[in-house]
């Protein structure tokens, strides 16, 4: 599992963040056509906590909800939920340092849903959450179906898309894609060879 690091949107990542989770060469691919499925469902998140502003990733699964990781919405150090969160589906950036486009606009989180095992100091096995917003993104009508109790096995390949703070050696606010092979699968934890860096927290892993 990726270490749950968080990066403030306006901060330059540390050297540790540049290499965290990258296995060998960084094989992630920049997504430039975020108006296509499933890219427009991958959401850039900017959240304000008591300790500052942070970034992460979520995935829209209904017109009014995204799934993400719990540490994007709940700070275990301060025992508090985020004060606010901006949700940006399909955000894109064509090149390092280039303009950032938000073709679907933004929404603000209305409320968060987490689980008591995590808020009481639980482990990564319970690091998941839902973020609700009041108004849908009007042009988005298709969502990734969620299936429960899926059986995963070593050798299965999963896809992952999200918003790492650094990819291919450069600071980025765009969406990046990779896939990887499952090495070990448990009830709540997957070990696999995926390239990730801070900001990928909450990224969807999907068939």
Cα-Cα-Cα-Cα dihedral sign, residues 35, 166, 86, 101: negative
| Res 156: pLDDT | 94
Cα–Cα distance between 6 and 80 in angstroms, integer? Answer: 16
Instruction: Give the pLDDT score at 3.
Output: 35
User: How long a stretch of residues is the chain?
Assistant: 207
Please report the pLDDT score of residue 155 as a whole number.
94
Q: Which residues does the chain have with pLDDT short of 70?
A: 1-20
Considering only CA atoms, which of 156, 163, 153, 152 is closest in space to residue 196?
163
> How much is the pLDDT for 147?
80
Q: Is residue 35 classed as helix, strand or coil in its secondary structure?
A: coil
Nearest C-alpha neighbor of 204 from the set 155, 143, 124: 143
pLDDT of 144 reads: 85
Q: Dihedrals φ, ψ of 52, to 5°? A: 140, -170
Q: Quote the CA–CA distance of 193 and 158 in Å, as a whole number.
A: 10
Give residue 85's pLDDT. Answer: 96
One-character DSSP codes across 40-78: GGEEEEEEEETTEEEEEEEEEEETTEEEE-HHHHEETTT
Q: N- to C-terminal Cα distance for the chain?
A: 18
Q: Given this model, what pLDDT does residue 20 score?
A: 57
> What is the structure's pLDDT at 188?
83
| Alpha-carbon gap, residue 149 to 147, rounded angstroms | 7
Q: Dump pLDDT digits (tens) for 20-47.
A: 588 888 999 999 999 999 999 999 999 9
């Amino acid at each position: 599992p990726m270490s749950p690091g968080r990066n403030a949107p306006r901060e330059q990542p540390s050297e540790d963040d540049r290499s965290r989770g990258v296995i060998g060469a960084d094989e992630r691919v920049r997504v430039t056509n975020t108006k296509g499925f499933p890219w427009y469902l991958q959401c850039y998140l900017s959240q304000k906590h008591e300790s500052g502003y942070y970034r992460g990733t979520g995935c829209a699964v209904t017109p009014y909800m995204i799934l993400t990781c719990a540490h994007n919405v709940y700070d275990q150090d301060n025992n508090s939920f985020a004060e606010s969160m901006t949700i940006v589906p399909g955000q894109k950036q064509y090149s390092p340092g280039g303009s950032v486009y938000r073709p679907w606009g933004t929404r603000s989180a209305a409320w968060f849903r987490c689980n008591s095992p995590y808020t009481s100091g639980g482990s990564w096995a319970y690091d998941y959450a839902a973020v609700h917003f009041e108004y849908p993104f009007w042009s988005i009508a298709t969502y990734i179906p969620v299936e429960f109790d899926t059986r995963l096995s070593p050798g299965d390949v999963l896809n992952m898309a999200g918003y790492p703070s650094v990819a291919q050696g450069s600071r980025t606010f765009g969406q990046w894609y990779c896939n990887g092979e499952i090495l070990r699968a448990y009830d709540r934890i997957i070990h696999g060879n995926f390239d990730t860096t801070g900001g990928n927290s909450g990224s969807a892993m999907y068939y």
